[in-house]
Amino acid sequence: MSAFFDVIVNSPYALLLFGLVLLVLGGETLVRNSSGLAIKAKIPALIVGLTIVAIGTSSPELFASMQAAWHGSAGIAVGNVVGSNIANLCLALGLTALVRPLKVDKQVLKLDWPILVVVTLLFGTLALDGVYSRLDGVIFLLGMTIYMVIQVKRSRRIKRNSVSAPINMEEFNQFANKKYSILLFWIVVGCILLYYGAGIFVDGAAKMAQGFGISEHVIGVTIVAFGTSVPEIVASVTAALKGQSDLGIGSLIGSNIMNILLVLGVSSTIVEIGIEPDMIAYDFWWMLGTTALLYPILTIGKKINRLHGAIYLTCYVVYIWIALG
């Protein structure tokens, strides 16, 4: 048994895999039980979906970046956010569109996409001095608060107009039948899994960077970002296979907004995060570019088809190839 644990501790690949499993399990446990608790407390399902579920799905990125920031791995902390946002659009959205073309709600173009652009530009503007300070963290969290208020108001309008919810809440209703004590227990378990999973995952990433002689920044925007984006990728592709792909784009854009405002907000409030020059000179422009690419797709075709999905996947392959080159 001790030899087994020695293999895990000394192998960065084993640490990455084991940490990723804990992150995914922790995130799912937290989202499902916290959503069940909120529904049980008579909080409207729409608000639960747009706030608690949205925050919960960003929990792997949040815990991974916090752990990286605490351990001084700034390249992983920031790279995780940038790489995850690129992966969410290029990989998750690209694969989803290949499986089943997505219809686009008008509100995505009128509200969600502009907010994402503004938040992305805020990310770049605050990074110009080379550090995300605690003040920057407060600004991000203030933006997060404003975004949540917008979402709550939006949910009330949707409810008045009897429009279907932007997030399918049926899978969470069964958890609302559990006792409060059980739901609270599993919420704590989910947080513990996320905490330790993130620590193990980041440790494995740091060891891999050292082993290959490449920067933590590169590992952050590739391996760590892909790992923490797995829940969004799996959820989006699964929804497409079930014929619910229309829910995908709104959730992915919301996740990208959360990654910047919540993940960087909390992480930089706890400890100031240094930013590598390559992050602004290279990765930021890829993140902004893949976000901007949505505009002509959404306005011209009113639909994200398989060709668009192939374009996004190609962009991701090129980005990773250049980053690792």
Query: How do residues 69-94 score in pLDDT, each as one tens digit?
Result: 887 777 888 988 999 999 989 988 88
Tell me what percent of the chain is helix, strand and coil, each rounded to the nearest 5: 85, 0, 15
Q: For 244, list phi and psi in degrees, rounded to 5.
A: -110, 30
Mean of pLDDT values over 54-67: 78
**Whole-number pLDDT of residue 163:** 47
Distances (CA, A) of 298 to 233, 289, 303: 20, 15, 6
Collapse the DSSP code of 131 into the 3-class scheme (helix H, G, I; strand E, B; otherwise coil) and give the result: strand
**Whole-number pLDDT of residue 158:** 61
Collapse the DSSP code of 303 into the 3-class scheme (helix H, G, I; strand E, B; otherwise coil) and give the result: strand
Residue type, 195: Y
22 versus 212: which is more confidently predicted? 22
Mean of pLDDT values over 147-169: 65
Mean of pLDDT values over 2-28: 74
Domains in the chain, please, with CATH?
Answer: 11-324 (1.20.1420.30)
299 versus 115: which is more confidently predicted? 115
Q: Is the pLDDT of residue 146 over 50?
A: yes
Q: Alpha helices of 161-243 — where are they, by DSSP H?
A: 170-173, 180-212, 216-219, 225-241
CB 97 within 8 A of CB 308: yes
Residue matched to tokens 């440790």: 203
Out of 42-46, 94-98, 220-224, 290-294, give the one with best mean pLDDT. 290-294
Q: Is the pLDDT of residue 169 over 60?
A: no
Collapse the DSSP code of 128 into the 3-class scheme (helix H, G, I; strand E, B; otherwise coil) and give the result: coil
Residue type, 52: I
Q: Is the pLDDT of residue 216 over 70?
A: yes
Give the pLDDT confidence of 232-247 residue by residue, as tens digits. 777 777 667 766 555 5
pLDDT band at 117 (very low <50, low <70, confident <90, very high): very high
